[in-house]
Structure 1
Amino acid sequence: MSERPFSITPDQLAAHLGTPHWPQVIDVRAADIRATQPDLPASRWVDSPDPAGWAAGLDPARPVVVACKAALNRSQRAVAALRAGGIPAMVLEGGSNAWAAAGHPVLPRAAAHAFGGPGRIWVTRRRPKIDRVACPWLIRRFLDPDAVFLFVDPPQVLEVAADVGGIAFDTPGAPIEHDGPRCSFDTLLQAVGLDGFAPLTALATIVRAADTDDLALSPQAAGYLAASLGLSALSGDDDRAMVRHGSVVLDGLYTWIIRARAETHSWTHRA
């Protein structure tokens, strides 16, 4: 088997955005540079290009992409060191500058500061369905793959979030909740600066229609609603199983949006 290439283009990397195949993206920009720029989605920032301080935290089963500002120094050093240690990492060609210049989604600095960082805790009501599965899916696919979710009784959501320093969502009084006709998924999209990314706005329409009983808004909403309610009945009180299985449904819907909407099936039985 050939060795993994030394570099990957922004377009090649973007093809995996929002899917389970998104690699571990390590951001090695200098702190002063990062402070003035947006973040790549679902990336982890480290304060040194020397992998000795952070390589042990990598998942050996997942690809690694390293990004700096322009791929001229820090990411090259980090990838060379990782590959010397047997980890087939890749440099993001052109760095974060090239990613943004290609028009791929980024997380604005304010959103990255408020909601980013590896392993943030998010708190919501237990027995998640529809919106409370879609929000964790969005967080893990575009914001923080290592996010932790706590599911508690509805009256305790805000108190638990305050106690653990977490972010409450989809409950009255939370920073991420319904806003008029918009559901929490819509609110979260806007809060993290991804509401202009067309595939996610298309998915938001499906989630909103299913969550607000406005099924005429989207032909796919009834299917998502049925799958979500069925999985909830199947999962019972196992909230993590519900998020895990529900995320597969959302992966399918998202991938249909970005790759398969033009495909049709017209086979009919003929006697």
Structure 2
Amino acid sequence: MPSFLEISPDKLSRLIGTPGAPCIVDVRTEEDFALDPRLIPGSIRRDHAEVASWADSMNAATVVVVCQKGSKLSHGVAAYLRHAGIDAESLEGGFEAWIAGGAAVPSEKLPRRDAEGRTAWVTRARPKIDRIACPWLIRRFVDPNAVFLFVPAPEVIAVGERFGAVSFDIEDVFWSHRGELCTFDVMVEEFGLASEPLLRLAQIVRAADTARLDLAPEAPGLLAASLGLSRMFSDDLEQLEAGMLLYDAFFRWCRDATEETHNWPTPKKRA
């Protein structure tokens, strides 16, 4: 059982992917990280020895610190963060406890980060389904601070090359449709995030995005909501922010509420 200065892997797992998830800071040594260069979803790497230089710049209300075994490095960094006024906990058992049953993102699949530590992505303007679903997945499970650029379709590749952004959901790039799979499917697989809730959500996204609404009974609802959002917003970034809430709701339904039904009004006797 974790102490009041720790959080269990099970509790952290329930928070990851939700809007209220803590900032997760991986402070494993370079030697430990080299042995398993994967990351807890949504986490960032920081040098424990440099905590004094980066603690005050943490833009987060709550932080979970991860080292190899949940001992001196994570507890020391968490204590330093608390001194800086940040609510910080250590992950009980560290990365070793997490990896025993939790998903992990291969670090080699992550784009290089910009000067502010963010990944940058670029795709076609006027997003509908995949181009909102993929940014949602990235922000909730890969990089909470990711930057998304929406540009005219013919300029996506060139903008990516000039500005160091990764192109997605266009033809002939790595992060795109593959056979019957849509880009969201590909990201779930490549980032090692294939949990039951995300696979269920991926099927709904694929059905709505590829006009195969028979694949999931929820797909017409997602399609309708997505098209409605595209009519409500002329600014793609404003639409993305609104779409984040939509996918938050679909994810929580996929994770927690698939067996729940609406039970009012109750059937009347002899109706």
Give the TM-score taking structure 1 as reference length.
Answer: 0.92
Higher mean alpha-carbon deviation, 180-189 vs 42-51, is at 42-51
Structure 2 residue aligned with 1:174: 173
Match of 2:48 in 1: 48
Q: Distance in 2 between matches of 1:177 and 1:120?
A: 17
Which structure is richer in relative contact order (CA contacts within 8 A, separation 6 or more)? Answer: 1
**2:41–2:103: 8 Å Cα contact kept in structure 1?**
yes
Contact 1:50 1:77 (C-alpha < 8 Å) held by counterparts: no
Letter in structure 1 aligned against 2:232: L
Matched AA of 1:177: S
**What corresponds to 2:258 in structure 1?**
261
How far did residue 85 of structure 1 move?
Answer: 3.1
Superposition pairs of residues 81-160 of structure 1, within 5 angstroms = 81-101=80-100, 103-112=101-110, 114=111, 118-160=117-159
Q: Specify every segment of 5 or more residues in structure 1 that has no aligned partner in the other structure, as ranges.
A: none
Distance in 1 separating the partners of 2:112 and 2:204: 24
Please say if residues 140 and 147 of structure 1, whose CA atoms lie closer than 8 Å, have aligned partners that are also in contact: yes
- 1:229 aligns with 227
Contact 1:49 1:75 in 2 (8 A): no
Letter in 1 for 2:264: W
Percent of aligned pairs with the same amino acid:
43
Give the CA deviation at 1:265.
Answer: 1.4
Distance in 2 between residues matched to 1:189 and 1:257, nearest whole Å: 15
Aligned-partner Cα distance in 2 for 1:260–1:115: 37
Q: How many residues align?
A: 263
* 2:56–2:84 contact (8 Å) kept in structure 1: no
Distance 2:50 2:122 in 1: 34
Instruction: Give per-residue Cα distances to partners, 1:83-112, cap 9 Å, x unaligned.
Output: 2333221000101110111x1111124324
| Contact 1:115–1:192 under 8 Å retained in 2 | no
Deviation at 1:80, TM superposition (A): 1.5
For 1:119-146, what per-residue CA distance to the aligned partner results, in whole angstroms no more than 9, with x for missing partners? 1110000011110000000000000001
| Cα shift readout 1:6-52 (whole Å, capped 9, x = no counterpart) | 11000011111111011011111111211221111100101224421
Q: Tell me the amino acid that sits aligned with residue 214 of structure 1.
A: R
Kept in 1, the 8 Å contact 2:81–2:88? The answer is yes
Deviations 1:31-86 (A, max 9, x none): 121122111110010122442121122124x2111110001111011112222333
Aligned to 1:207: 205
In 2, distance between residues paired with 1:205 and 1:175? 20
Normalised TM-score (structure 2): 0.92
1:68 paired with 2:67, answer yes
User: Is 173-182 or 68-77 further displaced after alignment?
Assistant: 173-182
1:208-234 deviation digits (Å, cap 9, x = unpaired): 000001011001100000000001100
Measured on the aligned residues, the alpha-carbon RMSD in Å equals: 1.8
Distance 1:246 1:86 in 2: 32
Deviates more, 1:259-268 or 1:91-100: 259-268
CA distance in 2, matches of 1:18, 1:83: 24
Corresponding position of 1:247: 244
